């Protein structure tokens, strides 16, 4: 049983995962310091890896990218560059604003992910609940 627990713990170790956090993906008049940021979890020393962008849920009015670090590490350990994004939330913003934020995050990833070992032609988008 201890060997099993040790194996599980090792699978969440992040020594071979490069984490780049709080990256700004928007500039402009509508910039939100908290909401227009993303985190990248990349396998160490990787090139041309598939990229998975994750959009958090939260009923459009809550949620945050920061709680998905373990998922990011898990994907990176499987040679996938994982990107978790924040976007503006209701009631201060509407669905159009949220969709626009997600689109801008995807564009940033397409334009910049090769610097993190990702393949800009193999970007996948997923999320849960509102995401």
Q: Name the one residue in this structure whose structure tokens are 């020393």.
A: 45
DSSP element (H, E) containing 11: helix 2-11
Token pair for residue 120?
């800009």
Which of 11, 131, 3 lies closest to 71 in space, CA to CA? 11
From 20, 115, 121, 129, active-site residue: 129
Residue 32: active-site member? no
**CA dist 15 → 19, 45, 62, 81, 105 (Å):** 10, 12, 31, 15, 27
Which residues are annotated as catalytic? 129
């Amino acid at each position: 049983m201890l060997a099993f627990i040790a194996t599980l713990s090792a699978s969440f170790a992040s020594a071979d995962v490069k984490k780049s956090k709080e990256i700004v993906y928007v500039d402009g008049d509508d910039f939100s310091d908290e909401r227009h940021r993303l985190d990248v979890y990349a396998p160490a020393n990787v090139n041309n890896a598939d990229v998975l962008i994750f959009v958090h849920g939260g009923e459009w009015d809550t949620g945050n990218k920061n709680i998905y670090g373990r998922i990011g590490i898990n994907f990176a350990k499987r040679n996938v560059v994982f990107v978790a994004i924040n976007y503006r939330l209701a009631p201060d913003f509407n669905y159009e604003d949220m969709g626009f934020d997600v689109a801008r995050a995807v564009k940033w990833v397409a334009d910049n992910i090769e610097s993190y070992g990702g393949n800009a032609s193999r970007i996948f988008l997923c999320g849960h609940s509102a995401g």
